[in-house]
């Protein structure tokens, strides 16, 4: 295997490179979190803490309803804020929302915009460093999951994954667990596709959505 795990403080390149989760002393760049070097010798973090960036799509849950707006849990130290004057819909405590980060200030307070309320469902936590693998190239992995689970899935950059109550939850949760564990493996989408095919063959075919209509 050419994959090489790098630990915090390990040198990843000569000279200064401006990349997240690294730091530099001027002559070389070092890893700040545990990561690995991929085929093109680029540093890919394996663990990280989500850092909000303007324009990111995030999934969250309304945790507080106030006069001026809504507080949203985003898997961050502090919740995000949706000002009431910016939106037309009324939210309730416990509603799931998908929104865009409108601004982040220097101490990490997040303002949200472009809010959409999500229907009934479930939110799970997924490591934000591995979110790109859950979406896949051109959403290939996400589409695969949607096809097999029979429901809608939304993935936020913050690591929260919303799935509609129409989804085949046990199958989906198991699959996501596998993706999380094998996130650094190449050819993951094909492997998951095979696995899901096998799984669907062994289980009785369920007609999705029927009981909800």
Residues at the contact surface with another protein, assessed by CB under 8 A: 1, 3, 5, 7-10, 21, 23, 30, 32-34, 36, 45-49, 51, 77-78, 106-108, 129, 174, 178, 181-185, 195, 199
CB of 198 to another protein, least distance (A): 8
CB of 176 to another protein, least distance (A): 12
Q: In this structure, are residues 130 and 179 in contact, taking their beta carbons and an 8 Å threshold?
A: yes
Q: Which CB sits closer to another protein, 57 or 195?
A: 195
Q: Which CB sits closer to another protein, 51 or 117?
A: 51
Q: Which CB sits closer to another protein, 35 or 156?
A: 35
Q: Which CB sits closer to another protein, 57 or 104?
A: 104
CB of 210 to another protein, least distance (A): 24
DSSP state of 205: P
Q: Which CB sits closer to another protein, 116 or 185?
A: 185
Q: Between β-strands 110-118 and 80-83, what pairing exists: parallel, antiparallel or unpaired?
A: parallel
DSSP state of 130: G
The rounded distance, in Å, linking the Cα atoms of 76 and 60 is 10
CB of 61 to another protein, least distance (A): 16
CA nearest 55: which of 112, 105, 137?
112
Q: What number of CA atoms fall less than 13 Å from residue 169's CA on the CB side?
A: 9
CB of 40 to another protein, least distance (A): 19
DSSP state of 58: E
The rounded distance, in Å, linking the Cα atoms of 29 and 35 is 14
CB of 29 to another protein, least distance (A): 12
Q: Which CB sits closer to another protein, 47 or 86?
A: 47
How many residues are listed for the chain in this entry? 213
């Amino acid at each position: 295997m050419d994959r090489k795990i790098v630990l915090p403080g390990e040198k990843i390149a000569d000279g200064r490179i401006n990349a997240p989760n690294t730091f530099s002393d001027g002559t070389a760049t070092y890893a700040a979190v545990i990561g690995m070097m991929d085929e093109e010798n680029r540093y890919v973090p394996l663990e990280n803490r989500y850092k909000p960036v303007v324009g990111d799509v995030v999934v969250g849950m309304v945790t507080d309803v106030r006069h001026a707006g809504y507080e949203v849990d985003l898997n961050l130290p502090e919740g995000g804020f949706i000002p009431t004057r910016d939106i037309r819909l009324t939210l309730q405590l416990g509603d799931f929302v998908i929104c865009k980060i409108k601004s982040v200030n220097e101490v990490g307070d997040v303002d949200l915009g472009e809010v959409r309320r999500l229907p009934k469902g479930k939110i799970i936590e997924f490591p934000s460093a591995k979110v790109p693998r859950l979406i896949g190239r051109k959403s290939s992995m996400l589409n695969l999951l949607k096809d097999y689970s029979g429901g809608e899935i939304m993935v936020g950059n913050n690591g929260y994954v919303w799935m509609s109550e129409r989804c085949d939850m046990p199958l989906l949760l198991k699959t996501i667990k596998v993706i999380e564990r094998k996130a650094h493996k190449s050819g993951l989408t094909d492997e998951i596709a095979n696995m899901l095919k096998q799984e669907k063959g062994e289980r009785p075919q369920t007609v999705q959505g029927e009981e909800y209509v």
